[in-house]
Amino acid sequence: MKTVRFAAPLLISLASFNVFSAELNLSGFGTLAFGSVIDGDGYIAEYPNLGVYEDDYDFGQETRLGLQGTAVFNDEISGTVQLMTRANNDFDIEVEWLYVTYQYSSDANIQAGRMRMPVYYYSDFMDVGFAFPWVRIPADTYSLDVTNFNGIKSNWNFSTGSTDMGLSIYLGKEDNPSDELMSYLFESFTSNIDREFEDIIGVVFDLSYQNFIFRTTFTQADMIEQQALLFDPFAATVEYDIEFIDYFFQYSFENGISLMTEYNEYDPFYKSYFASVVYQKDAWQYYFFWSQFDLDLPFEKHDTTGIGFRYDIGDGVALKADLSSMNDEGFIPVDGGPNIPNPVYHADDDGDGDVMVLTLALDFVF
């Protein structure tokens, strides 16, 4: 279970202080996902939680269930907890969120505890499939291995005329012992990778004006990585000064068409971005997206093209289908040849990592 050292004492204190008068609000969400690799050897559909389709007829990669509870103690103080269970993690229950909110004015609050890293536009809704049109948020762009942090976040909201703005500043840390994603990607070289993110500091600014939405974030931290190398009996320790910047734009037309794009840079590692068109008519949404991931090292570059639809069956239930094709443009730095078969690239018989996957999903909220 993930660490909750920072938030737990705060919530316990509040609960014991006023538990009988607290108003408890419960909600939940989930996804039943089925994927099948049509061509190629495997596809990483979800990087942070390592959802990898390698076989036909796989229900165990993106199927998940979440439960969220908020205890409102008074007009100023509340506590929130979110529990998640995932099929690809043997349905272990994990604490995703555990934080206290102090609402000190109508348009400002401060939160302390375990929260989602607000680095992307869809950060808070990455697990809530019902909140977006696609089967999954484009994985090439939403690929950070750190999704949560323990710390403090201050939020302010402003309005002027028809323009709404928001500003957040956050501080904290996060430990990723046995980093699952990194250990998987580099299992040809290491048996284990531990990562610690210290002195995290970030800022978020978002703006909405009529049919236009803009959001940008900037985050920096010190990252300490320990690698247990297969060819070396001693662990190698590497330290990085990391920076992450993200931009999101969306414009919705009156005829039901929405255009959106998101771009980010993770210095000193990679750049990634996506663009999508969504057309909505009544209960149907049809979408097209294209995304790309460019590692700063020369041997990994790929893009994904996807088409699909969403049909809202009823209140809180949506059926989705997606056909995605990943084009691997990476190469071996030594001779410029195509990527060799290994767990990173899932190279097919032609020696590259091209892959096509079909996914069906049932998203729901309650």
Full pLDDT tens readout for the chain, 366 residues? 344 444 445 444 444 445 457 899 999 999 999 999 999 888 899 998 889 998 788 999 999 999 999 999 999 999 999 999 999 999 999 999 999 999 999 999 999 999 999 999 999 999 999 999 999 999 999 999 899 999 999 999 999 999 999 999 999 999 988 888 887 877 766 778 899 999 999 999 999 999 999 999 999 999 999 887 766 666 788 999 999 999 999 999 999 999 999 999 999 999 999 999 999 999 999 999 999 999 987 668 899 999 999 999 999 999 999 999 999 887 544 344 444 434 444 444 445 678 999 999 999 999
What's the half-sphere exposure (Cβ side, CA atoms, 13 Å) at 313? Answer: 11
Whether this prediction's pTM lies above 0.75 is answered by: yes
Listed in order, strand segments (DSSP E) in 210-342 are 212-229, 235-252, 257-267, 270-281, 284-295, 301-314, 317-328
| Residues shown for the chain | 366
Strand segments, DSSP code E, in the chain are 23-39, 43-46, 51-53, 64-72, 77-86, 93-105, 108-116, 148-160, 163-176, 190-209, 212-229, 235-252, 257-267, 270-281, 284-295, 301-314, 317-328, 355-365
> 182 in a domain, yes or no?
yes
> Is the alpha carbon torsion for 5, 6, 11, 13 positive or negative?
positive
* Residue 1 resides in a domain: no
In sequence order, what are the residues at sequence separation of 6 or more whose Cβ sits closer than 8 angstroms to the Cβ of residue 7?
98, 99, 100, 112, 113, 114, 150
Q: Give a yes or no: residue 15 inside a domain.
A: no
In a domain, 283, yes or no: yes
Domain that includes residue 226, residue range:
25-365
Residue 242 lies in a domain: yes
Rounded Cα–Cα distance for residues 64 and 32 (Å): 7
Rounded distance, CA 275 to CA 96, Å? 28
Distance CA 195, CA 183 (A): 10
At 310, list the tokens: 């969403």
Q: Which residue has the tokens 């989705």?
A: 320
Note the pLDDT tens digit of each residue in 179-206: 888 878 777 667 788 999 999 999 999 9
Question: Can you tell me whether residue 229 is helix, strand or coil?
Answer: strand
- Number of domains composing the chain: 1
Whether residue 274 is contained in a domain is answered as yes
User: Does residue 179 form part of some domain?
Assistant: yes
Please provide residue 56's backbone torsions phi and psi, each rounded to the nearest 5 degrees: -75, 145
Q: Is residue 4 part of a domain?
A: no
* Spatial distance between the Cα atoms of 92 and 180, rounded to a whole number of angstroms: 15
At residue 18, φ and ψ (nearest 5 deg) are -145, 35
CATH number of the domain where residue 360 is located: 2.40.160.10
SS3 of residue 100 by DSSP: strand
Per residue in 126-145, pLDDT tens?
999 999 999 999 999 999 98
